[in-house]
Structure 1
Amino acid sequence: MIECRIIADSISESKKRITTFVCTFPRFILAEFNTHRVFSRNAASSRAIPSKKFIDQVNNYPAMPLHWGKEQSGMQAWSELSPSDIPVAQEIWLQARDKMINCAKELMSIGVHKQIVNRLLEPWFNVTVIVTATEFDNFFKLRCHKDAQPEIQDLALKMNQCLKESTPKVVNFGDWHIPFGDRFIDEKLSIKDKLKICVARCARVSYLNFDGIIDHQKDYKLHDILAEQGHWSPFEHCASPITNPLQYSGNFMGWHQYRKSYEI
């Protein structure tokens, strides 16, 4: 399962663009994805998701390689297994998953915490990530390339296509890029309250419940707890345009990151 969608796309009066995606892809490419430091991101957490829910995910929607390459020297596998061998490889991959599910259940039966149990299942887990950035060119240059691992190449190509097809909304100086903002566009909320809700929504991706019903009071409370405890990453997805499109704020260019307004 490799998919992506844009949940907020903005462009400043200085023509600097910022975009927020929700992406789902095999967790086994998450480390490669995370090497791109221009990305602000929050992801579903193996420590937060209940093990039963985690098992259901890998059982019903297992992450699978897109390309079953033959062993050869180097990082790339140009040749694929024969058509008769690919189903065999897929079956072995799923047999390994089934064995790990059984091991996970045994650990659960003796009371082992989910932050340990879920680690056994990560190779078959499709992780959901919220990612915001102003700079995507290097990511596309490296990951759309023929040398990239097929799974991250597929993700990069889909993200690039989404970006080309999306029309960014003009955000004036003093206004904000707010992911999930369309969900309360008709509500009479202050900018401060909208920012708080967005931060909470982005944080909730850890538990895979970010897309549920919005409870304003719970989101306000979660925002304040995150700030008090110094969990700053969910504060990075909201941003306000800067007059100078070449000025950096955190990892954003031309946009002032909400984290930089709040962090002390």
Structure 2
Amino acid sequence: MNAIQIKNLHYAYGDKCILKEVNAVFPENKFSVLLGINGGGKSTLFKIIAGLLQDYKGSISICGREINKLRFKDRASLIGFLPQFTQSVFSFTVEEILLTGRTAFSGFAPKKEDRELTHRILEDLSITHLRHKPYTQLSGGEQQIVMIGRLLMQNPKILLLDEPTNHLDVYYQHYLMEKLKEYSENNFTVVAIMHNPTLAFQHADHFCYLHDGCIHTPNNPAEANINLLEKVYNMSFIEFVRDNKKFMLPFGEIG
């Protein structure tokens, strides 16, 4: 089964067309990456999938179910969505932030099993030492890991992540990508927007490209497609392998 299937999707802001005749699938239990330029419609697409934007034409199915027929609780059990920017103005502790991930299921009265799940996720993400620390006092990398943990508290089938490595230092970029790969190998589907081709091609296993409002999926989506990459970014790229790891480096504007 495909985790997400998009058919003939069209979306516009007023008279401005953002997405046109988008057709794509994101396979179940894989780590998929959508590559594309800023302002190209990637975040808009993810907001539609997450149910935050309406008035689109076409259809989107999540695990075989039309998203416009899903109740809020059902959607929360299928998709955990991390937007590009998250901010907390309250000094909630890390543990309290994680518990808010159970709101759709337990309301504002966490159950014993919710707290047990919190402890397991803290351990899995190696952030138990941050349990009682205010979220607002964490580094950017720590905050991002906590927000991934909050998604895991929903126990969704799909992790939908808009630029998860944005503003992270090199350590946290690689740490997070390795964790996401691990989750995709353990019954989660991970779909992420990314701008760093090297990070994407070193960790993910399914790739598609958003260009001019349309999604392009190569014949072999498991391999880097340098022609599509250059088309999307309008730049030339050098591809090389070192220590069995693939690197994609830009070296100049095309034309």
Please report the TM-score for the alignment, with normalisation by the length of structure 2.
0.25
Q: Of Structure 1 and Structure 2, which has the larger fraction of its residues in strand? A: 2
> Who wins on radius of gyration, i.e. which is larger?
1
Q: Identify the structure with bigger relative contact order (alpha carbons < 8 Å, sequence gap 6+).
A: 1
Please report the TM-score for the alignment, with normalisation by the length of structure 1.
0.25
Q: Of Structure 1 and Structure 2, which has the larger fraction of its residues in helix? A: 1
